């Protein structure tokens, strides 16, 4: 079997104690629409190795653009010990928006908390972003791309709030994280840069001038995986046996190789009739592959 080639980010899965709160927040702030309500099947729970999730309610929402992307919220008891951005695993989803300042101005405080006000990135005025914490303790980077960036193949938002195009992975060893993606998916390591991550530094209680080793792994279909090496006080995300991790628990990618024997027939979204398999990375992150 050939090496799987990661493509478009198809789904970001969030563990959520209150699905109604997620539905309200994403519909009235982002103009997302409900595309499916269901429960976790035995097939899915087996695929993810989370037997305790069988029968858990699910809520799937998609942007108005209909851009082949969904957020999947799965009902799971809240974990009072989970602190976003401070553990290994999927720490944030970066979402395309048309106008980040307009979004900030209309946000409903009870739905989202602004962790970082809109501002231009340090290296270009053509990218403007803010950071939010959502109703399920999920972290979102809301990003407006105002003009093409030379040397970067970036998408364009086609609705007020569109799809996730970058996912942010935190771990203890950036080299090990990149090596995992190289070994499993043939993704070449990217140059490592030192960068401030203000929202993470606040979560860790560090100076906002603290710099983190980060790298951007390019995958197909104008998507990326950002890998961040976290400080020594970070560690594996504590997860109750049989359940999905708290926060952003899994990311699903379209994959251009034929499925292996372990692939499962899952119905509905985000599968769209395709088989799926599941693996994990060096930071313990769950990676769902949708074979197309």
Q: pLDDT band at residue 2, thresholds of 50, 70 and 90?
A: confident
Res 223: pLDDT: 95
Res 4: pLDDT: 87
- Is the distance from CB of 79 to CB of 136 less than 8 angstroms? no
Residue 81 counted as domain residue: yes
CATH code for the domain of 193? 3.10.180.10
Residue 38 counted as domain residue: yes
The per-residue pLDDT for range 256-273, each reduced to its tens digit, is: 886 777 899 999 999 999
Least confident of 22-31, 122-131, 135-144, 175-184: 122-131
Res 257: pLDDT: 82
Written as six digits, the tokens of 268 are 């509905």
Res 91: pLDDT: 98
Residue 96 counted as domain residue: yes
Total domains in the chain come to 1
Residue 1 counted as domain residue: no
Q: Stretch 24-31: mean pLDDT, rounded?
A: 97
The per-residue pLDDT for range 60-102, each reduced to its tens digit, is: 999 999 889 999 999 999 999 999 999 999 999 999 999 999 9
Q: pLDDT band at residue 182, thresholds of 50, 70 and 90?
A: very high
Residue 286 counted as domain residue: yes
Residue 77 counted as domain residue: yes
Note down the domain range covering 144: 6-291
Residue 186 counted as domain residue: yes
């Amino acid at each position: 079997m050939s090496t799987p080639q990661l493509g478009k980010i198809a789904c970001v899965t969030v563990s959520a104690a209150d699905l109604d709160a997620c539905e309200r927040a994403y519909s009235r702030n982002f103009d997302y629409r409900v595309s499916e309500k269901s429960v976790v099947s035995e097939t899915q729970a087996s695929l993810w190795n989370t037997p305790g999730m069988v029968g858990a309610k699910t809520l799937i929402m998609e942007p108005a653009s209909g851009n082949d992307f969904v957020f999947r919220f799965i009902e799971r008891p809240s974990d009072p010990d989970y602190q976003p951005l401070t553990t290994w695993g999927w720490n944030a989803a970066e979402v395309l928006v048309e106008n980040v300042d307009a979004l900030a101005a209309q946000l409903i405080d009870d739905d989202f908390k602004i962790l970082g006000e809109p501002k231009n990135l340090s290296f270009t005025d053509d990218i403007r972003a803010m950071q939010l914490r959502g109703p399920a303790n999920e972290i979102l980077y809301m990003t407006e791309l105002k003009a093409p960036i030379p040397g970067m193949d970036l998408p364009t938002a086609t609705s007020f709030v569109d799809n996730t195009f970058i996912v942010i992975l935190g771990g203890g060893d950036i080299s090990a994280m990149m090596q995992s993606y190289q070994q499993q998916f043939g993704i070449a390591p990217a140059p490592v840069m030192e960068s401030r991550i203000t929202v993470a530094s606040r979560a860790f209680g560090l100076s906002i001038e603290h710099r983190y080793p980060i790298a951007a792994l390019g995958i197909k279909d104008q998507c990326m995986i950002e890998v961040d090496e976290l400080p020594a006080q970070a560690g594996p995300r504590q997860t109750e046996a049989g359940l999905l991790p708290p926060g952003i628990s899994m990311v699903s990618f379209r994959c251009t190789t034929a499925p292996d024997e372990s692939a499962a027939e899952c119905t509905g979204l985000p599968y769209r009739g395709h088989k799926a398999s599941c693996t994990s990375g060096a930071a313990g992150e769950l990676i769902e592959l949708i074979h197309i």
